[in-house]
A and B are shown apart, each in its own frame.
Chain A
Amino acid sequence: MSKNSSCNLSAVELTTIEAMKKEQAASRVAQHKEMPTTKTMAIALPLIFRFMRAFFMYKINLTKTKLFESNTIDSESKKHELVDQQLTLESIESLPPNSGAELVITKMDSFQVHGVNLQEVSNTIKGNNEHQQPVENSSYHSDGGSSNRTSSASTDDLDNDTISTTWSAADVKDMASLKKEMRKLQIYNFLVSTKFMGTVYLCSFIFGFIIWAILGGIDEALNSNSNNRIFVVESSMFEFRHGCSMTFYTVLTIGLEVVGYVILELIFLALCVKADKDTWGIKKESFIVTIVQLLSAILFIICGSIEVISELVDYYVPYGFFIWGYMYFELFMCCTIPVIRSIYFDYTKLNSNESNESNIEKVLKNKKMFKIMLDFARRSYCTESLQCWKDIQRYKRSTKNRKKIANHILQVYLSINSPLELNIPKIEQCNSEITSQLTEKPPANLFHKIQQHCLIDMTDLFERLKNSNTEFASFITSLKD
């Protein structure tokens, strides 16, 4: 239909008044300029693919983690996992209420694969097993897998009995189900591949082209001499010099095609909602695009039905621009934003690499946390590492007083028998080495090794503090995110 619309679109694109007038005169019958609608169908395709991608990526992840688990973990736990699946499928209700939530969890995966919504079950279980939410991202998921194994060891005997009795049965199913999963994975992988998407784009292009050729051909063959064409008014479909207006039949054909696309889009929209992983924001973006698409379609239809706009305003500012606006918006969302996003990602990654800070450094750079840590260190009789680290920071920042601060550091922390002597090997050698480099303008990294040493010395203190101060511990947890 791309070709089809390009023929029609030329009317809008070549808005020479001449062409306009000619066309207007020619087409009294069909005043609707339907070509933008044609475009709508074509532009629905990227969105459909986006939804599809989001959904199938999620499915792939789900399948993969299961395969991964059963492939890498020793055969015993593989059996275990398969048994779990089987058990759940067969007897989810018959299980005793507190019989190892781990059984239910693994089952849930299989349930979701089978398209059964177990969301409610998972909600009730979440309380017991924080780790084991089943449909998280892959690493989280495998985590759940490992804790499955550990928790099952601690469940009561009754539970273990159930498992051991079904093991032999599960062995048989083992290979077959694995193969099935592999095949499924292959299909999903194909569906999200560029090969598949490119093929679909090409097919739809050819499909549109063929329709145009067939309909045009029919028109030409039947009514080349008369003006009673079925699909276009007055002019021929193969007329490239100017635009043409459509009849009701053309609108119908296009409308049917549009309905097809809309249905497809709705299906994948619904599927996409089910995928609960949205790493790259594909889902979020696609929803926004859908809303804009809907709005522009509504505006287009409303404008088309207001006579003043469709008859008069359209000649100067075509209301088809609504659809065009949507297309540009989509282009922005699908191309510009991902590019910006990836540039931003690289940038932040680069930055974090540059200042590859450990948690301890982050803590020390936070004024409040530093204070907590210093207080703790004072009570543990080991403030020297912290104070030395801080003084070296001061040294690095200072420009004028570097030499003075350097001397202070050497005297206080790097001299034998000073009250704040660091716990560092060969302290005299360190001292003389640094002293020899101490010029009028000492370099900023003069104490780099010493500062690193302080950080390493603090690990012990840091762990102790983490275990005893909740505020401190929660600060560390917040750093991880």
Chain B
Amino acid sequence: MGNIVVSPHDKEGQHHMMATPTSNNPNGGSAATAKNKSEITVLLLGAGESGKSTLFKQVQFFHGVGITHDQERIELIEIVRLNVLENAKNLVAATQHLNIPIEQPENRETAKLIINSLNTNDLEDPSWSKRLYSLWKDAGIQKAYENREKFQLYDSTEYLFENLDRICSDKYVPTVVDVIRTRTKTIGITDMKFDVGDGKQLRLVDVGGQRNERRKWIHFFNTVDAVVFLTSLSEFDLNLYEDNGYWRVKESLRVFNEVVNNALFYKVPFVLLFNKRDLFEKKIATKSFSKYFSGFNEAEEKNPVACIEYMTKLFLNEITEHPLDTVSVKTLSAIDHDNSKQVFEEVKQFIMTQQHRE
């Protein structure tokens, strides 16, 4: 399959893609340009905030790379705190935008500081833990949080605010869960390699998902052995980060259509992962699923299995070119370590057997 030797990028002659910096293998750039069969390149694709990097981090983690060591996670303190600040900022901005007043005067004071001057170093002070928590518990902020589909907010907001006492301590060392939960927007393309037995190496490629980032995907399309496409189940009530008037599901479907029907992937095993199953199940308990999908039977809207089945059909309907027998569909909860380990193992098996068949 697809023994294309040179990628468009290699023609430029300077840095072939193998030189894409990997966190586990900083000197990985010296390998041959020609694609050897012992290496399987798997692309993680999907729209923004579908969980590509979360899965990537999980895979790194259970291969003992990166965040397994305390010392490396200490480096991430700032990122976790930055997440807290951005969440707080977004929430405060949302209260203004949605005309919800923050009720307590002292919380209003905190909100002002957050918008104007607070930086991550300030969060080392435990007193900020109390102030931010009190802000979080403010009726105004909670109301904005309930209406979070109307603005952009990370999925980890609640988790981070509930763990403030740890995060704002001067002894804080991020836990693995903290690192998995933090959101860092991926820009560009990054990859990692690890052994999968049989003398084979799997190269997992993580990419940024926003519209402008997607243009960069093309650099990798030629060398791909498998595609894992992620889409978030819980985005049915959300709009895009890039364009706040555009429904995320529509965007996901569009991107999926482009990718799955791409001629370059015609012979490549394709995995569709419905991510954020945990969040989704929580969400449909309180929000109407059928409101967003006119073709969906309203009576079934509290049944996650039926909902996921419906979503699956929706996505599979987009496939016009790709042979259906090389497409696999799974659900995933990428923040759950065991679940992602299991699902990724299945994905790996699927890809390997598909390759073998060939």
Contact = CB atoms under 8 A, between A and B. Distances in A.
Interface of A: 139, 142-143, 146, 150, 356, 358-359, 376-382, 384-385, 419, 421-427, 456-461, 463-469
A382 B188 contact: yes
Interface in B1-42: 15, 19-23, 26
Contacts of A464: 21, 23, 190
B212 A425 contact: no
A465 B215 CA distance: 22
A422 to B, nearest CB: 7
A381 B21 CA distance: 11
The CB with the most chain B CB atoms within 10 A, among A384, A421, A424, A467, is that of: A467
Given A463-B79, A465-B21, A468-B22, A382 B244 contact: no
A385 B170 CA distance: 31
A456 B119 CA distance: 13
A359 B282 CA distance: 38
Interface in B207-222: 208, 210, 212-213, 215-216, 219
Nearest to A470: B26
Given A380-B20, A381-B219, A425-B244, A469 B186 contact: no
A425 B219 contact: no
B208 A423 contact: yes
Interface residues of B, number: 38
Contacts of A463: 75-76, 79, 184
* Residue among A376, A382, A458, A461 with most chain B CB within 10 A: A382
B21 A468 contact: yes
A468 B216 CA distance: 22
Contact of B26 (A146, A422, A427, A468): A468
A142 B187 contact: no
A465 B26 CA distance: 9
Nearest to A380: B188
B243 interface: yes
Contacts of A376: 21
B82 interface: yes
B50 to A, nearest CB: 15
A469 B29 CA distance: 13
Contacts of B66: 467
B242 interface: yes
Nearest to B245: A426
A445 B244 CA distance: 26
A138 to B, nearest CB: 11
Interface string B185-196: 111111000000
6 contacts: A380-B190, A421-B212, A423-B242, A427-B212, A427-B242, A460-B185
Given A382-B187, A425-B152, A460-B186, A143 B171 contact: yes
B241 A425 contact: yes
Given A425-B242, A467-B23, 11 more contacts: A356-B119, A376-B21, A379-B20, A380-B187, A381-B219, A456-B86, A460-B186, A463-B76, A464-B190, A468-B21, A468-B26
Contacts of B170: 139
A146 to B, nearest CB: 5
Contacts of A461: 187-188
B72 interface: yes
Contact of A423 (B76, B119, B184, B212): B212
A45 B186 CA distance: 64
Nearest to A142: B171
Q: Give the interface centre of A381, A419, A457, A463 by most chain B CB atoms within 10 Å.
A: A381
Interface of B: 15, 19-23, 26, 66, 70, 72, 75-76, 78-79, 82, 86, 119, 152, 170-171, 184-190, 208, 210, 212-213, 215-216, 219, 241-244
Contacts, number: 89
Contact of A379 (B15, B78, B208, B212): B15
Contacts of B244: 425-426
Given A465-B21, A468-B22, A456 B82 contact: yes
B57 to A, nearest CB: 11
B82 A459 contact: yes
A423 B23 contact: no
Contacts of B152: 425
A459 B79 contact: yes
B79 A377 contact: no
Contact of B187 (A356, A385, A425, A465): A385
B216 A381 contact: yes
Contacts of B76: 463
A443 B189 CA distance: 35
A159 B10 CA distance: 57
Contacts of A358: 119
B184 A460 contact: yes
Given A379-B15, A468-B23, A460 B187 contact: yes
A105 B354 CA distance: 57
B130 to A, nearest CB: 16
A468 B75 CA distance: 13
Contacts of A426: 242-244
B185 A457 contact: yes
A378 B72 contact: no
A380 B185 contact: no
A359 to B, nearest CB: 8
Which 9 residue pairs of A and B lie closest in terms of their CB atoms, listed nearest first?
A382-B188, A380-B188, A468-B26, A382-B187, A421-B212, A381-B216, A381-B188, A460-B184, A467-B23
B242 A466 contact: no
B217 to A, nearest CB: 9
Contact of A380 (B26, B82, B189): B189
B253 to A, nearest CB: 21
Contacts of B184: 459-460, 463
